[in-house]
Structure 1
Amino acid sequence: MILQTQPEPLLQVRALHKSFGAHDVLKGVDLTVRPGEVSFVIGPSGGGKSTLIRCINFLETPSAGEIMFDGRHLCREEGNVFHVAPERELRAARSEMPMVFQHFNLFSHRTVIENVIEGPVMVKRRRRDEAIADAERLLAEVGLADKADRYPDELSGGQKQRVAIARALAMQPKLILFDEPTSALDPELVAGILDTIRALAERGMTLVVVSHEMGFARRLADVVHFIADGAIVESGPPQRIFDAPENPRLAAFIRSILH
């Protein structure tokens, strides 16, 4: 009998805390993401979803705990001392797990293609002509080949978000983080972004998606993590999370969505 072993985690979060002054937002979060896995983080507003994902790539610095990404410690506790990796190591890790933001975060004074090549040229030091060729291919993949020379203000919200996804892909990432990628979009634009994310999952990319799109999470996720009051209180496959939740807080959350 051959025992099947799971791959080593690409991302490991343990006992993660984040405080803003006296306010504890994350209270000991544990999260594991394996290569090729699509993980959704769901939960009520103010539960800590966005803070968690911002701490993972150090847009916010955690207060305590451990984050290991691709075998490298980005922060950890040793004795009573909390250590954070040097900024150059954090920048390198961030380039390998870019984030797609709720409000796009594009450079308004740069064209679409300039937005996409910024990271590869400035961070990864790729040749400009190579970065442009790659950006043109990625923009074609997300249906924006004809928008390369436009500025963000000339695009719809859905088009801006697809540019942001192309920008993340241009970094040749090991993991992509999505922070509520559809919440700033008009309803008629949401489906296009969800289709783009689905295509990434079908390519085997590792994704962590903070989202309020429960139907999408049910269909696409390998694992769903429910976070409330600063802690992940239940994790599991989407069928169990949505159809047979064990935690009373999760059960109440699911009922509130259904009704």
Structure 2
Amino acid sequence: MVSEKPQQSVAPNPAEPLLTVRGLQKRFGSHEVIKNIDLEVSPGSVTFLIGPSGGGKSTVLRCMNFLETPSAGEITFAGERLCHTEKGRLHRASDAVLRRARAQMPMVFQHFNLFAHRTALENVIEGPILVLGRPREQAVADGRELLRRVGLLERADAYPAQLSGGQKQRVAIARAVAMEPRLILFDEPTSALDPELVAGVLDTIRSLADENRTMVVVSHEMAFARRLADRVHFVADGVIAESGSPDEIFDAPKNERLKQFIRSILH
């Protein structure tokens, strides 16, 4: 499992949010998926987005690093404004700024998104070589070390089709960490896994938290959210209906929709 903290390229300023989202909206045609989202992510924190399916959690995540272009709102990451709305029109940052933000804010997807024709090691080293400009020899050494830390060094030469779902997801996590990110986004990283494979992936994510990695996690693993989160946002119907610490959200919810959601999970 990942346990040793590598050198990060840029030290975040703990006095300022690493990511700020204000007035985020997202429409697909006439369908308004995200109505109005405000949130901040502090350096070194673990933020969970929970809520019912279809409430907009994954869309919020994809707007953060512009896998989806917001319809309105303002997003600031690592001191750079990625977009803002002025006179009813969304203004995006330059392509160079957005590419830099994506490189520092990789996403671990529900369905892994590994390159099927490349080995586990090749999947991990591609970003450092092509995006960060690492020499191949260094990228390979670093990639093998990351695979060792997620318990998959012996599978370095295996192709995704030869890996279990849990192994694929741990390769995807190693690939994200290889980019020396400021923030890692997780989009329901265990929902596509068989139950017996979930624990290994959760252990890997937990070890990242132990390294003070900054993470935003969309998940239906409520017990895991309660143990790991610094801040929990309950997203329903395109808005954050309630925010708080894990104890506040799970033990003393105020919003009636959140109360119903927790009751449904308990039963």
- Output the TM-score relative to the length of structure 2: 0.94
2:60 paired residue among 30, 52, 55: 52
* Offset, 1:123: 1.0
| Structure 2 Cα separation of the partners of residues 80 and 96 of structure 1 | 29
Tell me the residue number matched to 1:173.
Answer: 181
2:191 paired residue among 183, 188, 207: 183
Runs of 4+ that moved beyond 2 A: 78-81
- The answer to whether the Cα contact below 8 Å between 2:108 and 2:185 also exists between their aligned partners in 1 is yes
Tell me the residue number matched to 2:100.
Answer: 92
Tell me the residue number matched to 1:3.
Answer: none
2:224 is the counterpart of 1:250: no
2:154 is the counterpart of 1:142: no
| Structure 1 Cα separation of the partners of residues 203 and 108 of structure 2 | 15
2:69 is the counterpart of 1:61: yes
| Structure 1 Cα separation of the partners of residues 154 and 193 of structure 2 | 21
- SS in structure 2 of the partner of residue 171 of structure 1: coil
More off after superposition, 245-254 vs 80-89: 80-89
| Structure 2 Cα separation of the partners of residues 169 and 22 of structure 1 | 37
Aligned length, in residue pairs: 255
Tell me the residue number matched to 1:112.
Answer: 120
2:72 is the counterpart of 1:75: no
| Structure 2 Cα separation of the partners of residues 27 and 251 of structure 1 | 21
| Structure 1 Cα separation of the partners of residues 95 and 161 of structure 2 | 32
Identical columns (%): 68
- SS in structure 2 of the partner of residue 133 of structure 1: helix
2:17 is the counterpart of 1:19: no
Tell me the residue number matched to 1:43.
Answer: 51
- The answer to whether the Cα contact below 8 Å between 2:72 and 2:89 also exists between their aligned partners in 1 is no
* Offset, 1:144: 0.4
| Structure 2 Cα separation of the partners of residues 36 and 45 of structure 1 | 27
Tell me the residue number matched to 2:233.
Answer: 225
Deviations along 1:34-90, one digit per CA (max 9) or x if unpaired, are 000000000000000110101101110000000000010000023333201122211
List runs of 5+ in structure 2 lacking aligned partners.
1-13
Tell me the residue number matched to 2:207.
Answer: 199
- Output the TM-score relative to the length of structure 1: 0.97
| Structure 1 Cα separation of the partners of residues 177 and 89 of structure 2 | 36
List runs of 5+ in structure 1 lacking aligned partners.
1-5
2:220 is the counterpart of 1:215: no
| Structure 2 Cα separation of the partners of residues 129 and 240 of structure 1 | 48
